[in-house]
Amino acid sequence: MGVVRAKIQTVEDIYRLVRMAVESKRPIRAVYRGHERRLCPHRLGRNHEGQMRVLCYQYAGDSRSGLQAAGSPANWRCIAIEKLSKVELIDEAWHTAPNHSRPQTCFAEVDIDTED
């Protein structure tokens, strides 16, 4: 049996998958800062330095700060696209919460939002 090589995801691949998730309101599974997370991407754009960011609601998985109860505004994450890996669209329920606490500091320019 031969060796199976995993395809390395480029930042462009990851951006495309995250954009599809925002457009279709589908969750993603991804690794960020060494933790596997389940995320619902709500907004995609760039910060004041021009770096790609995604505003996600994290509903499962691990994180350094831990997760609060479902629906908590503390579970919003402003994530650097280039630091995501192993990104995949998954068939699970969409999660969100009121009070995104981070859009003002996360974005200078918005490419797409679930509300569009």
Residue 98's pLDDT is what? 81
Q: How far is CA 115 from CA 25, 41, 42, 68, 77, in A?
A: 10, 12, 8, 24, 18
Here the tokens at position 27 are 């969750």
Residue 115's pLDDT is what? 84
Give the model confidence (pLDDT) of 25-80 as tens digits: 999 999 999 999 999 999 999 999 999 999 999 999 998 888 999 888 889 999 99
Residue 16's pLDDT is what? 96
